[in-house]
Every structure is written in structure tokens, then in C-alpha cells.
Amino acid sequence: ALANEIGGAFASVDVTKTEQIQAAVEQAVAMAPLWALVNSAGIGWAQRTIGRDGEFGSAHDINAFRKVIDINLIGTFDAIRLAATAMSKNEPNEHGERGSICNMASVAAFDGQIGQASYSASKGGVVGMTLPVARDLSAAGVRVNTIAPGLIDTPIYGEGEASEQFKANLGQNVLFPKRLGAPDELASMVVEVITNSYMNAETI
């Protein structure tokens, strides 16, 4: 419904499926030149590297680890390479720019907690590839930046009184302000990253 309101289009994409990403890019290009990509698909859950009973079967589920990497890291790169290919065909603007890409990492890339091995590895990979990919795409006039947000209030925390108490407790561990970030506060940074023509190869 929102896509129709703003004159856009909606495409449901599984970022582990290259053909679905490519179809979404082609759908966008059919409407207008593709100038921006925001990579925000991601999953994560807590699981320690080993169990408490010393059994191999209690160690971290390796398939779960692979799934997090597939979605958060490989899916991000797959979307970058396909979207940037389309952007490279754009006529450059007055700054010589043909497109802008904003990836979503996490503070966990730098400060991973207990049980976050897969999530931190995936987000650390996103941070780590930001500079080399920006260098790769510089000749095409495509900027690449990454945001590594802290705790943002999203539906991942659930609903109800227990959820609100949990979020309040989390917020007390934040330096200042002592609360979770609002989605529109994160969105404003995404807009800045996409539109600021002098910002490139940075992780914020």
C-alpha cells in the first residue's frame, strides 16, 4: 500500500536467492534509473559456541551459523554487486556520481557479546568489505557506506509489558540518551548517507 502511495513498487526478496535480487533490481530499473540501495536484510539469535555438557551435539548449530552469514553478509554483497551493475549504466550527476549504497552493520561488529559469534562475524564482514567495495566502485561513480547502529527499537523485541520492561533495561546500559534509538532516527542517518555526495567508504 505504501509503495502505491509514493508511486513506487514493492518486491519481496529473499537475499539468499540471487535471481530474486536481480528481479527486484530489474523491476526498479524499469521504473527509473536506480540511484540508491539500502541493504537492511538481516537476522540473528543468541547461541554460545559450545554447550555446558561437553557434547559435540550441544555446540553451536553450524547450519544456523551459515544461515546468518548467508543472509547478513553474502546477501549484502550479492545485492551490492547487482545493484551497482545497474547503477554503473546511469548518466552521472553534477558530482560524477551514478549511485549510492548504504549497508547496515551493527555495533556488534566491534563489540560482540556472549552468544553473538555468528551475528558479529556477519556484521564485521559487512564493515570489513565497505572500503574495498567502495574502492572497486569508485571508477563507476558509486559510493558505498555502512551504518553500524546500536540498539534500535524495532519489532524484534516483541510487544507487551514484558517487552517494554526488557527494552527499558537495555536502554539503561546505553551511554546517553539512556533509551533505545527510534527507527526514524536511524532512517535520518540513512538519508544522510545516501544523499551526502562527499561521504564514501565510511562506517558510521
Q: How confident is the model over 169-178, as pLDDT tens digits?
A: 999 999 999 9
pLDDT at 1: 77
Residue 88 pLDDT > 90, yes or no?
Answer: yes
State the maximum Cα–Cα separation within the chain, in Å, rounded to a whole number. Answer: 62
Query: Would you name the residues annotated as active-site residues?
Result: 119
pLDDT at 204: 98
> Which of the four pLDDT bands, split at 50, 70 and 90, describes residue 157?
confident
How much is the pLDDT for 155? 83
pLDDT of residue 156: 77
At 42 the pLDDT is 94
Report pLDDT for 115: 96
Would you state the pLDDT for residue 56? 98
pLDDT value at 188 more than 90: yes
Q: List the one residue out of 9, 145, 172, 147 whose CA is nearest residue 80.
A: 145
Residue positions counted in the chain: 204
Indicate the average pLDDT of the chain: 97
CATH 3.30.70.20 applies to domain 2-195 = no
Q: Give, to the nearest 10 degrees, the angle between helix 62-69 and helix 117-138.
A: 30
Question: What is the tens place of the pLDDT at every residue in 99-131?
Answer: 999 999 999 999 999 999 999 999 999 999 999
Specify whether the CB–CB gap between 111 and 152 falls below 8 A. Answer: no
Measure Cα distances from 119 to 86, 163, 197 in Å.
29, 22, 30
Q: How far is CA 195 from the centre of its chain?
A: 17
Residue 151's nearest CA partner among 124, 183, 123 is: 183
Quick one: cell of 53?
555438557
Residue 6: burial class (beta carbons within 10 Å; 0-12, 13-18, 19+): exposed
Confidence at 152, pLDDT banded by 50, 70, 90: very high
Q: C-alpha grid cell for residue 14? A: 529473499
The three cell numbers of residue 167 are 527494552
Rounded to the nearest angstrom, the gap between the alpha carbon of residue 71 and the centroid of all alpha carbons in its chain is 10
